[in-house]
Structure 1
Amino acid sequence: MDPNLSINVLYVDDEVHNLNSFKAGFRRLFNVFTAESAMEGRKILETEMIHIIITDQRMPVMTGIEFLESIIPFFPDPIRILLTGYADINAVIDAINKGQVYKYVQKPWMDEDLRINIEKAFEIYSLRRDNKELTEKLLQANQQLEFLLRQNLLS
């Protein structure tokens, strides 16, 4: 990873000690934003450019999957990682299908594994962003060519 590139990571978990542990483990590597609830997480998304969202599955009021699913229409670009201490296969399936989750990681996480997953997720984020920009440039070039072609056909 390019050391000059800052990756903005949002971690949402209702357990404060998990948030503190995550911040302590990753604040030197990434720009870490934390939220104790889905609502708090959404407020951060509205004010910060977040690349990676990590959320716990089991939270009161709204589960991690419900949170991820609810933000897709408004924040489709961040890559999503679901964390849970429970091996619930239905949650995994829902996460992939509804929450468009890139990775499912079991708690307690291993710092090195999670770091690699965050970096790989950012590579995907960057590739998608680059692809979107190239597609837009290609569409503009096509429109210009069509315009020039029409001009030639009319003259």
Structure 2
Amino acid sequence: MSFGVLYVDDEINNLNSFKAAFRRDFNIHVAQSARDGRKILDTNEIGVIITDQRMPGMTGIEFLESILTVYPDTIRILLTGFSDMNAVMDAINRGQVYKYLVKPWQNDELKLYIQNALEIYQLRKENKELAHKLQLANIELEMLNRSRS
């Protein structure tokens, strides 16, 4: 799949580990801040965003919530070193998170979640395209019916 995977984390060691673990399987982009992550989103087609929860300036949930209207189809995964139930509920309710995972991640498990998320993203894109084609066909049919009246 050609869609990118974006990982946002303020810890450079986590970014390097992530990139090393998954660069052969996915088109990986990394960012050390929400602002840098947004720049990557604006210039690449990203299918999956994985973000750390606890970052300076903007939490992962706040970042995901801030991009929701611009990138509604992108699949969101929250990754954190802390299992905070309030953060889990916020992630689901505010950031519309697909998965909530606790660090340290297991490569095989995270790879599977990323693959599944990319498949969901692809299906969302295809559904939108089909809905648009159906809408155009309906307009064409309406016009044809009117011309016969």
Q: Which residue of 2 aligns with 1:42?
A: 38
Query: Residue 8 of structure 1: which of 4, 10, 22 is its match?
Result: 4
- Tell me: CA distance 1:61–1:38, structure 2 relative to 1, closer, same or farther (3 Å): same
Q: 2 CA distance for matches of 1:31 and 1:125?
A: 14
Q: Does 1:28 align with 2:49?
A: no
Give 1:77 deviation, angstroms.
2.1
Give 5+ residue unaligned stretches, structure 2. none
Shift of 1:7: 3.7
Give per-residue Cα distances to partners, 1:41-97, cap 9 Å, x unaligned. Answer: 001111111111000000011000000000112222211000011111110111011
Could you tell me which residue of structure 2 aligns to residue 59 of structure 1?
55
1:133-148 map, 5 Å:
133-148=129-144
Structure-1-length-normalised TM-score: 0.94
Gaps of at least 5 residues in structure 1 are none
Q: Secondary structure of 2:79's match?
A: strand
Mapped to 2, the partners of 1:67 and 1:8 lie a distance apart of: 18
Larger Rg: 1
Letter in 2 for 1:69: E
- TM (normalized to structure 2)? 0.98
In structure 1, the residue matched to 2:80 is 84
| SS of residue in 2 equivalent to 1:67 | helix
Q: What secondary structure does 1:101 align onto?
A: coil
Match of 1:126 in 2: 122
Distance 2:137 2:6 in 1: 36
Alpha carbons 2:48, 2:77 under 8 Å: kept = yes
Alpha-carbon distance, 1:125 to partner: 0.4
- Tell me which stretches of 4 or more aligned residues in structure 1 moved more than 3 Å: none
Aligned length: 149
